[in-house]
Amino acid sequence: MKDEKINIMRHSMAHITAAAVQRLWPSAKFGVGSVVDNGFYYDIDLGEVKISEANFPKIEKAMQGIIEYGDDFEKLEMPIDEAISWAKANGQPYKEELLNDLKRSGTTVAKDLDMDEIGLATDGESAVKTVTFYKNGNFVDLCRGPHIANTRDAGAFKLLRVAGAYWRGKETNPQMQRLYGVVFATQTELSDYLERLELAKTRDHRVVGPQLGIYMISDAVGQGLPMMMPRGETLKDLLIRYMRQEEEARGYKYVETPVLAHENLYKRSGHADHYSDAMYKLKDDEGQTFYLKPMNCPHHHMIYEKMVESYRDLPFKLAEAGRVYRKELSGTLTGLIRVRGPITQNDSHIYIRPNQLKDEFVKVLELFKTVYQTMGINDYWYRLSLPDFTKDKYEGDKQAWMDASNAIREAMQEFGAEFVEVEGEAAFYGPKIDVQTRNILGKEDSIATSQVDILVPYRMDLNYIDEAGNKVKPIIIHRAILGSFERFIGMLIEKTAGWFPFWLAPEQVRILTINNTLNDYVAEIKSILDGIILMKPLRHNELRYSVDERNESLGKKIREATNLKIPIQLIVGQQDKDVREVSVRTQLGEQKVNIDGLKDYLLSL
Ligand SMILES: [Zn+2]
Ligand SMILES: [Zn+2]
């Protein structure tokens, strides 16, 4: 990934940016930089000078000059002590600090920096004697490469934004300015990306969600604790009902488990030891400790223990729209996508015998496909994460790991799923698949996941009795099709710009009248709408509509209904009444429909 040509261009552009900044502000002190999605950043300390977007044209012009001038990237090797002297002599205290770390411990502790690219020169090997520098024009930077050969090959770029960033991510350290840019191989790709970026801004669920009355965040309640507003709750309820309908048709049993659990449960499951940083802990007045559940699994395992005795009870499928809470740092919170809670998971646990894994996994894949088709998600693929036995230390029986990995791969092949296989990315308890898609900016994103668990039955001592009367361990499939409902709604907003599929629209139809002089006719239309029950994809779904009979102009009413992205507006005037018609207004335009055909017309949408 790192060595892909475009990433080498992005990396090299970071050097060019730094070179341009140095040309404009010769006393600039450089931290480190990195390649990120679609581009790069570089952390720079300019003392009193604060860069703003107003400076971008000037910096970009200097960058363009460097690119057109056509300097080669030259590699230089230097003994570590000489490099330290170089940093000192050139007024680069941050590089000096990195080089001193390197000399002392053989690493610049790149882990703390969450990056490892520009400005660093080691692979973390100890006993560093020499370091490498790269030079383009007059600009020299500590780096291990690789780079493009000449600045002329750097591609098309644009600076996007500048943000504060603490040196090495520590609040007590000096604050630097992090300059971000995007880089593409061609101007066309760059323009295309910038266009999509503009589009994405208009679809950002953090803006559109509250505008549509889907959700809100209140400082009084707390950050990362979104509240579903009436329209959002309608949407979420529809999604929950739809999933339940599909799952119950496939033999899943719905349960409900509490949001709190005693610490003993998490001691037994291992979460108290391995996951406590992500769990909210509560103590009651009797000195007992509880946790807000970060996942539903241990609760479900208790129900398994109660309900399953023999192999005849398997497969055993539990499902829950289960609310969980997770401790998150405030800086990471993002609308509905990353929250503290509630995270209402479309969660399920499928308990099986080892020889049922492949067949049950095919059924899971079938459910993924059915649901995504309904949701209009077609651009997805799977990532199959397997252990890497040459490197990883996996707990448990190696043969069980191999069997599980093979069963999933066979299931994927048999089902004809499009997937990529990645070794070394399995969960610690078993292989898994993630459903991947791209967001509007082309960034890869997971929608949901399904994991095979061969360890927890041992850890929690879950058993069943086989034909021979032996006590044996089941395998568990943890599976979420829509991930969390909140997160899915966030994604759906960005995908549809708030124009949800008809069956999911919180308000599907709004009747707009000039005033209240047409009450009889409106009542007749209402009785038609009351008789409409949608059967697909969610059965017994009554039509959701309202009437806007305020004494306002029709233009204003249409505007409001359109802003709320109500898919169907039924506009009724005196003339319509006279000929027993209504004007049906949708995203596609407006047309007259006879009232006798209205029901069929709406059902055909
Ligand atoms: Zn470099
Ligand atoms: Zn689970």
Q: pLDDT tens, 221-233? A: 999 999 999 999 9
Region 405-433: mean pLDDT is: 93
CATH 3.40.50.800 in the chain: give the residue spans: 507-603
pLDDT band at 110 (very low <50, low <70, confident <90, very high): very low
Q: Which residues pair with 134 in a beta bridge?
A: 75, 141
pLDDT surpasses 90 at 189: yes
* 3-state SS class at 200: helix
pLDDT of residue 119: 55
Convert 558-590 to b/e letters by CB count within 10 Å (16 or more is b).
Answer: beebeebbbbbbbbbbeebbeeebbbbbeeeee
From the CA of 449, which ligand is nearest?
2
The pocket of ion ligand 1, defined by CB under 5 A, consists of 118, 143
pLDDT in tens, 130-170: 889 999 998 999 998 889 999 999 999 999 999 999 998 88
Give the pLDDT band of residue 273 (cuts 50, 70, 90).
confident
pLDDT band at 398 (very low <50, low <70, confident <90, very high): confident
**507-603 topology per CATH:** Rossmann fold (3.40.50)
CA gap 216, 225 in Å, rounded: 9
Say how many Å lie between the CA of residue 40 and the centre of ligand 1. Answer: 11
Instruction: Supply the pLDDT for residue 126.
Output: 43
Those residues whose C-beta lies under 8 Å from the C-beta of residue 353, and which sit 6 or more positions away, are: 311, 314, 464, 466, 472, 474, 475
pLDDT at 365 over 60: yes
CA 88, 94, 98, 100 torsion: positive or negative? positive
pLDDT at residue 107, rounded to an integer: 64
Q: Enter the tokens of residue 504.
A: 């999911």
- With a cut of 90, say whether residue 74 has pLDDT above it: yes
Q: Is 326 a catalytic residue?
A: yes
| pLDDT score for 187 | 95
Q: State the pLDDT at residue 118.
A: 54
pLDDT at 260 over 80: yes
Is CATH 3.30.930.10 correct for 208-496? yes
Among the ranges 48-57, 162-171, 437-446, which has the highest mean pLDDT value? Answer: 48-57
| Range scoring the smallest mean pLDDT among 124-138, 211-225, 396-410 | 124-138
User: CA–CA separation, 29 vs 43, rounded Å?
Assistant: 9
Is residue 147 annotated as part of the catalytic site, yes or no?
no
Q: Residue 553's pLDDT is what?
A: 92
pLDDT for residue 125 is more than 70: no
Q: What confidence category does residue 112 fall into, taking pLDDT thresholds of 50, 70 and 90?
A: very low
Residues with CB under 5 A from ligand 2 (ion): 297, 478
User: Which among 95, 340, 349, 510 is annotated as catalytic?
Assistant: 349
Residues 29, 8: Cα–Cα separation, whole Å? 23
**Secondary structure (3-state) at 273:** helix
Q: Which of 59, 20, 51 is nearest to 164 (CA)?
A: 51
- 414 — pLDDT class (breaks 50, 70, 90): very high
The ligand placed nearest to the CA atom of residue 75 is 1
The answer, yes or no, to whether residue 13 has pLDDT greater than 80, is yes
Q: Partners of 254 in the beta sheet?
A: 319
219 as an active site residue: the answer is no
Give the ligand at the shortest distance from the Cα of 304.
Answer: 2
Active site residue 236: no
Ligand 1 centroid–CA 420 distance in Å is: 30
Which residues 6+ apart lie within 8 Å of 70 measured at CB?
A: 150, 151, 152
Q: Say how far apart CA 82 and CA 91 lie, in whole Å.
A: 14
Residue closest to 567 by CA, chosen among 509, 511, 525: 509
The residue-averaged pLDDT of 519-535 equals: 94
CA 78 to ligand 1 centroid distance, Å? 15
Residue ranges of the chain that CATH labels 3.30.980.10: 5-201
**Annotated catalytic residue within 11, 326, 487, 577:** 326
How high is the pLDDT of residue 111?
Answer: 41
- Greater model confidence, 396 or 308: 308
Res. 129: pLDDT tops 90: no
Report the pLDDT value the prediction gives residue 108, as an integer from 0 to 100: 62
Closest CA to 206 of 563, 489, 483, 447: 489
Q: Single out the residue of 279, 240, 245 nearest to residue 259, CA to CA.
A: 279
Ligand 2 centroid, distance to 480 Cα (angstroms): 9
Average pLDDT, integer, range 410-414? 96
Dist. CA 46–CA 28, nearest whole Å: 5
Active site residue 397: no
Q: Is 143 labeled as catalytic in the residue annotation?
A: no
* Of the candidate ranges 53-62, 105-114, 285-294, 510-519, the one whose mean pLDDT is the lowest: 105-114
Distance CA 266, CA 576 (A): 65
How far apart CA 584 and CA 261 sit, in angstroms, is 52
Integer Cα distance of 73 and 151 in angstroms: 7
Section 35-57 average pLDDT: 94
**Contact of 279 with 292, CB cutoff 8 Å:** yes
Domain(s) of CATH 3.30.930.10: residues in the chain: 208-496
Please say whether the beta carbons of 115 and 165 come within 8 A: no
Mean pLDDT of 541-551: 93
Average pLDDT over residues 176-184: 96
335: exposed, middle or buried (Cβ count in 10 Å: 0-12, 13-18, 19+)? buried
381 forms beta bridges with 436
Distance from C-alpha of 372 to C-alpha of 331, rounded to nearest angstrom: 31
Per residue in 196-214, pLDDT tens? Answer: 898 888 899 999 999 999 9
Q: Is 374 helix (H, G, I), strand (E, B) or coil?
A: helix
| 297 part of the active site | yes
Of the pLDDT bands very low, low, confident and very high (cuts 50, 70, 90), residue 392 is low
Residue 549: closest CA among 510, 499, 503, 578: 510
Question: If you average pLDDT over residues 430-448, what whole number do you get?
Answer: 88
Q: Point out the catalytic residue in the list 205, 300, 323, 432.
A: 432
The pLDDT value recorded for residue 393 is: 66
d(C-alpha 294, C-alpha 342), whole Å: 10
pLDDT surpasses 70 at 117: no
Six-digit token pair at 537? 């994809």
Q: Under CATH, which architecture does the 5-201 domain have?
A: 2-Layer Sandwich (3.30)
pLDDT tier at 2, thresholds 50, 70, 90: low
pLDDT score of 116 more than 50: no
The residue among 60 and 120 whose pLDDT is bigger is 60
According to DSSP, the β-strands at 253-254 and 316-324 are parallel
pLDDT of 376 above 50: yes
Q: How confident is the model at residue 309 (pLDDT cuts 50, 70, 90)?
A: very high
Confidence of residue 113 (pLDDT cuts 50, 70, 90): very low
Residue 395: how many CB atoms within 10 A of its CB? 11
